[in-house]
Amino acid sequence: MAGPASDLPPVPAVEMPTDPGHSLLAPEKAAATAASLGSLLRAMAANRTARRDGPSIEDVVRAQMRPLLKEWLDVHLPRVVEHLVRVEIERFVGQVLSNQVDDKPTMKE
């Protein structure tokens, strides 16, 4: 008889960017992180199926929170993303302008 872990679907493979310049993490760090998260997800899923005789409190809370979270994200996420993008662009433009001021030759009279 197979155990609960053998009944679990496989964790999908994470496609890593082939160009290292497009990733924030080194490829080996990203792969190690993905493997660790995969192990954690499998362990959590195995724990849930091992004691399944009805919905757990986690399942009930998740079902209740999902529509609330979706509604909140629908209302607030565009504004949050816009703000964060604006802040990042302003930071970047500030750095560029600062570098241009530093690079200007001074005129000697």
What does the pLDDT look like over 82-99, one tens digit per residue?
Answer: 999 999 999 999 988 888
Between residues 61 and 45, the one the model is more confident about: 61
Position 11 scores a pLDDT of: 54
Q: For residue 42, which of 12, 68, 15, 8 has the smallest C-alpha distance?
A: 8
Q: What is the mean pLDDT of residues 17-34?
A: 73
Domain range list for the chain: 1-53, 59-103
Q: Over 90: is that where the pLDDT of 74 sits? A: yes
What's the pLDDT band for 80 if we cut at 50, 70, 90? very high
- Given a contact cutoff of 8 angstroms between Cβ atoms, the answer to whether 84 and 43 are in contact is no
